[in-house]
Amino acid sequence: MGKIAVFLGILVVMSSCFNEPDFSFTPEISFDSINSVVRLDQFIGATKDSVVITIKFKDGDGDLGVNLGEDQIDTVGGKTDFNYLLTNFRKVNGSFQKFESSEVSSGYFPKLLYEEKPGAIEGKLNYSYDFIHAFTPKLDTLKFEVQIKDRAGNFSNVIETDEIVLNRL
C-alpha cells in the first residue's frame, strides 16, 4: 500500500510539472528556414523551384488553420481571405523591392488542432510555393515576409525570411 501511495504521489508531482504553456491568443511566429528544390513540373514539362518556408508558431487557444474543404474556406471570407500571408521581395540593383507574382502567393494551411477544447499549441509550419523557371529570371534572389491569421481574425507578427537564389540551372 505504501509503494502505491509513493507512486501516486510521484505521479501527482510529475503531472503538476507539465502545465499548459501560457501563450497569447494572438499567434506569434518566428523564422526557421527557407529551402528550394528543383523539380520537373509534369503538367507543363518545365523545371521549377519549389520553395519551402518553415516558420515556428505559438498560439494560446489553438485556433490556427481551416478545414481545406470549400465549405469552410467560403465561410472564412472566400478564396482571398487567406490565413497564410506571403509578401514577395526581389533583389534589384542590390536592394529588395516588393513585387507581385503572376500567381497568388498567399494561401491556406489546414487546421492544426482538431480537439473541440481550445488549448495552447506550438510547432513548425511548412509552406511551399513554386517558381517556374521559364517565368523566373536566372539567379533570381528573393526573400519573403510572412504573417499568419487565426480563425478569430487575429494576425501574428510579421517575420522576414533569409534570401534565397532561384533558377540556378
Q: What does the domain layout of the chain look like in residue ranges? A: 22-166
Of the listed ranges 8-12, 20-24, 29-33, 80-84, the one predicted with least confidence:
8-12
pLDDT tens for 75-115 read: 555 567 899 999 999 999 999 999 988 778 898 888 887 77
Tell me if residue 156 falls in helix, strand or coil: coil
The whole model's pTM is what? 0.80
Q: Which grid cell is 52? A: 519551402
- Whether residue 41 contacts residue 132, with contact meaning beta carbons closer than 8 Å, is answered with yes
Top CATH class, 22-166:
mainly beta
Angle (CA) 14 61 117, round 5°: 75
